[in-house]
Amino acid sequence: MERTCLAIILAAGDSTRMKSSKSKVLHPIANRPMIAHVVDAVAKSDISSVALVVGRDADEVAMAAQVEGVKIETYLQKERLGTGHAVLAAHDAIARGYDDIIVTYGDVPLQTEGPLKAARQGLAEGSDVVVIGFHTDKPTGYGRLLVKDSELIAIREERDAADAERAVKWCNSGLMAINGRKALELLSRIGNANAKGEYYLTDLVEIAHSIGGRVAAVDAPEIEMTGCNNRAELAVIERLWQERRRDEMMISGVTMIAPETVFLSYDTTIGQDALIEPNVVFGPGATIDGGAIIHAFSHIEGAHVSAGAIVGPFARLRPGADLANGSKVGNFCEVKNGKIGEGAKVNHLTYIGDAKVGAGANIGAGTITCNYDGVNKHQTLIGANTFIGSNSSLVAPVSIGDSAYIAAGSVITADVPADALALGRAHQELKPGRAAVLRERAFAIKAAKKAKP
């Protein structure tokens, strides 16, 4: 769309119903502040600039709203005198003379660019105000959109509506688009002659008609217009977001056995023919390539899983984990800042941190890389086709050469050359008959404890 557009995002509310120490727009949906979801949606509607109207937690909200490639200017609304007053907080931005102005809200994180573009199209076709509405079977509490001859003639609040008007199921979302060339004229005419003494943006419908302007309405899916005022609604929005994103992924070729148990982050990427078993959680920064298998009860964050790799069950991949093609990280294993080479296996009860595991290596059960000395982290290098026996401790910094063999139960503190066998065990001693003595002593101690009054 060649027309210039300013998006005004209202995020200055006090959030009292959220019962929180921080603004509601800072609360996350899919591990991303809800305000960032809104900025992302308006950015996709071909806007030129964003004016963010802030109040409570102004600096934190402005920081959370940052989306790559989007220039945002913030405007402080010092008093809360209604939506019309909030929009005029961005007066300087409006005065620059954009073709279109979109007004939306920072607590409506499920919105997409579709309805916003439709509203802009209405402006391009000659309307001065375009209201975004939604159809619902439960309209109670919402203002109704009253249309005649394809023209929006009024937004009727429920308390003021006649019985026939209350039967209308097309409701006001609060979002709208305004002719940018007339915006300041229209906004300046909003009065506050009402019970609360506030300036309501919805008055623009009547104002535009009064000066001979055109007003239209466009429809949006009800889900997209879901707002958030409290923790219960926050949970509903999280559920709706997850359902929508899961459906998108499954339609694109991802298999989820029990999708309702899989939780995604806003930036989770999963390729075609990947298999996700039940009860898998993806934190931010997870990329799963096509054909990978994520078994049940695994947690993946800041990690990359290549094609054909297998994770879990009950595995945890932390930031920096990178699994090459055909590798495996099995049950009750954790990888943090570790690269697992092609075809390498980390099968059971193992921790790999700050390490590189070569292609074809086999890491035995109970192996740990001892990467932290209490102050600094150190790296472990494990060569290709190495075999690390069960219950081994690799004390970093240390390097294990290609095709080396580490005997089970070893503590390795020095580098091991390629093709070498390393044994780091204490010498085993035998004490014949000592077990019986120890057992008798243990039973005597137990009996003495019972005999005490």
Per-residue pLDDT of the chain (453 residues; tens, 9 = 90+): 589 999 999 999 888 999 999 999 999 999 999 999 999 999 999 998 999 999 999 999 999 999 999 999 999 999 889 999 999 999 999 999 999 999 999 999 999 999 999 999 999 999 999 999 999 999 998 999 999 888 999 898 888 888 899 999 999 999 999 999 999 999 999 999 888 889 999 999 999 999 999 999 999 999 999 999 999 999 999 999 999 999 999 999 999 999 999 999 999 999 999 999 999 999 999 999 999 999 999 999 999 999 999 999 999 999 999 999 999 999 999 999 999 999 999 999 999 999 999 999 999 999 999 999 999 999 999 999 999 999 999 999 999 999 999 999 999 999 999 999 999 988 888 899 999 998 999 999 999 988 887
Structure tokens at 222: 């009800």
Whether the CB-CB separation of 34 and 28 falls below 8 Å is answered with: yes
Separation between Cα atoms, residue 15 and residue 95, nearest integer Å: 29
Separation between Cα atoms, residue 362 and residue 416, nearest integer Å: 16
Separation between Cα atoms, residue 144 and residue 132, nearest integer Å: 12
Residue ranges matching CATH 2.160.10.10 in the chain: 248-422
* Residue partners of 107: CB distance under 8 A and separation at least 6: 11, 13, 24, 25, 34, 227, 228, 229
C-alpha distances (whole Å) from 99 to each of 59, 206, 321, 383 are 29, 21, 47, 62
DSSP state of 290: T
Is 77 annotated as a binding-site member? Answer: yes
Is 407 annotated as a binding-site member? Answer: no
Is 79 annotated as a binding-site member? Answer: no
Instruction: Note if the pTM is more than 0.85.
Output: yes
The label of the residue with tokens 């579709």 reads 114
Q: Which of 44, 55, 42, 32 is nearest to 103 (CA)?
A: 42
Is 433 annotated as a binding-site member? Answer: no
348 assigned to active site: yes
Is 229 annotated as a binding-site member? Answer: yes
Catalytic residue among 37, 348, 378, 427: 348
Is 372 annotated as a binding-site member? Answer: yes
Residue ranges matching CATH 3.90.550.10 in the chain: 5-225
Is 371 annotated as a binding-site member? Answer: yes
Separation between Cα atoms, residue 299 and residue 281, nearest integer Å: 5
Separation between Cα atoms, residue 47 and residue 3, nearest integer Å: 9
Is 212 annotated as a binding-site member? Answer: no
Is 362 annotated as a binding-site member? Answer: yes
CATH number for the domain whose boundaries are 248-422: 2.160.10.10
* Domain covering 5-225, topology: Spore Coat Polysaccharide Biosynthesis Protein SpsA; Chain A (3.90.550)
Is 351 annotated as a binding-site member? Answer: yes
Is 107 annotated as a binding-site member? Answer: yes
Using CB atoms within 10 Å of the CB of residue 314, give its burial: 0 to 12 exposed, 13 to 18 middle, 19+ buried.
Answer: middle
Separation between Cα atoms, residue 305 and residue 340, nearest integer Å: 10
Is 347 annotated as a binding-site member? Answer: no
| 349: three-class secondary structure by DSSP | coil
| 53: three-class secondary structure by DSSP | strand
Is 172 annotated as a binding-site member? Answer: yes
